[in-house]
Amino acid sequence: MSEENKRLVRRLVNEIWNQGKLELIDELVDANYVRHDPAWPEPIHGQEGLRQYIAATRHAIADGQFTIEDLIAEGDKVVTRWTLQGTQQGEFMGIPPTWREVSLTGISIMRVENGRIAEVWDGYDALSLMQQLGVVP
Interval 22-38: pLDDT, tens = 999 999 999 999 999 99
Is residue 137 one of the residues assigned to a domain?
A: no
Starting at the earlier edge strand, list the strands of the sheet with 116-124.
44-45, 29-36, 116-124, 101-113, 77-87, 65-74
Total count of domains within the chain: 1
CATH of the domain at 38: 3.10.450.50
Of all residues in the chain, the percent with pLDDT exceeding 90 is 94
Interval 60-104: pLDDT, tens: 999 999 999 999 999 999 999 999 999 999 999 899 999 999 999
Q: Report the C-alpha gap between 106 and 95 in whole angstroms.
A: 21
Q: Report the C-alpha gap between 85 and 67 in whole angstroms.
A: 8
Is residue 86 one of the residues assigned to a domain?
A: yes
- Sequence-ordered alpha helix ranges (H) in the chain: 2-11, 25-28, 46-60, 126-132
